[in-house]
């Protein structure tokens, strides 16, 4: 089962193109710092602005660089079922360990429509699939009854839950079972999600504090509550403030500040404003204070 600190990788750009050197260096740094798995081409990776060729190239390069050291969960969702199938098949063929498939955005499908979408992706591929439920971006919210029905399919193995509803992992565990992999999709709830039955977080802030995010997850698993609480508290400000403007602009600024890559983003996202940068500066400093 996938668990722990799973980084939703940013996609470094340079002069409008993918900065492959920075991307590869970021992956190596993530592994060195203890990240448990990687997600290329999620929304944090600006997947809506990537061409199909870029999308597949990023996933494949990530897999090639990782070389099986940690799992790679490829973002492969779309509001077009045909496109989601193609991206998921590509991820499978290129050797990804799982696919992260978002609920169809903008279309506003019914619960039956969402079931049919995921069922079609499932039937057209042979790779573990994690449902990405994020009503704030997609408008639609997958009901637990729909998720429970999907969980009966052999390759629907879990959920990235970005609802912010901390009751949901409890009731999901009760209805679907403890083997259904529940991952937080919100850095702000990453700590609390563990206490409610989750097993990890697909994280944005772990792009810049991978060691602390991994250590917090490990501390919880090991029953080291004192360390867990210290790390949870130190990351709280950063978890909030990297979303003060449209993601991933603030986290890319943080990455630039650490020398990981440029802060270049693709339209319609704009680089972080001076006000956002000040917030991120403060949050980064707070996250790295050892005496919290």
Query: E-assigned strands of 207-277?
Result: none
Q: Is-contact 130 181, C-beta < 8 A? A: yes
Q: Which of 60, 67, 115, 132 is catalytic?
A: 132
Measured in whole angstroms, how far is the alpha carbon of residue 218 from the centre of its chain?
Answer: 18
Beta bridge pairs of residue 161: 133, 184
From the list 183, 165, 159, the residue with the least C-alpha distance to 37 is 183
ω into 17 cis (within 30 of 0): no
Would the CA dihedral through 140, 141, 144, 149 be positive or negative? positive
Query: Counting beta carbons within 10 angstroms of the beta carbon of residue 269, is it exposed (0 to 12), middle (13 to 18) or buried (19 or more)?
Result: middle
Residue 196: strand, helix, or coil: coil
User: From CA 218, how far away is CA 106, in angstroms rounded?
Assistant: 37
Residue tagged 């920075």 (tokens): 22
Active site residue 230: no
Active site residue 160: yes
From the list 143, 138, 118, the residue with the least C-alpha distance to 129 is 118
Q: Which of 67, 149, 152, 160 is catalytic?
A: 160
Q: Which residues are catalytic?
A: 132, 160
């Amino acid at each position: 089962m996938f668990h722990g600190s799973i980084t939703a990788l940013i996609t470094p750009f340079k002069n409008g193109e993918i900065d492959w050197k920075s991307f590869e260096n970021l992956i190596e740094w993530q592994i060195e710092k203890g990240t448990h798995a990687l997600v290329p081409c999620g929304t944090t990776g600006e997947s809506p602005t990537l061409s199909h060729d870029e999308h597949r190239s990023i996933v494949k390069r990530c897999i090639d660089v990782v070389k099986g050291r940690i799992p790679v969960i490829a973002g492969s969702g779309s509001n077009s079922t045909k496109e989601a199938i193609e991206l998921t098949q590509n991820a499978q063929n290129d050797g990804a360990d799982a696919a992260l498939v978002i609920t169809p955005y903008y279309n506003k499908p019914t619960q039956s429509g969402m079931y049919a979408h995921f069922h079609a992706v499932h039937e057209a591929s042979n790779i573990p699939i994690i449902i990405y439920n994020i009503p704030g971006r997609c408008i639609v919210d997958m009901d637990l009854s729909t998720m429970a029905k999907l969980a009966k399919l052999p390759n629907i193995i879990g959920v990235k839950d970005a609802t912010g509803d901390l009751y949901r992992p409890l009731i999901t565990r009760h209805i679907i079972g403890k083997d259904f992999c529940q991952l937080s999709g919100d850095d702000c709830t990453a700590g609390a999600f563990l206490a409610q039955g989750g097993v990890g977080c697909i994280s944005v802030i772990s792009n810049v504090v991978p060691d602390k995010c991994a250590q917090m997850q490990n501390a919880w698993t090991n029953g080291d509550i004192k360390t867990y609480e210290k790390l949870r508290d130190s990351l709280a400000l950063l978890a909030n403030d990297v979303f003060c403007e449209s993601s991933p602009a603030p986290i890319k600024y943080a990455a630039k500040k650490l020398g990981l890559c440029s802060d270049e983003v693709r339209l319609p996202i704009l680089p972080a404003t001076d006000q956002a940068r000040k917030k991120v500066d403060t949050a980064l400093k707070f996250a790295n204070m050892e005496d919290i």
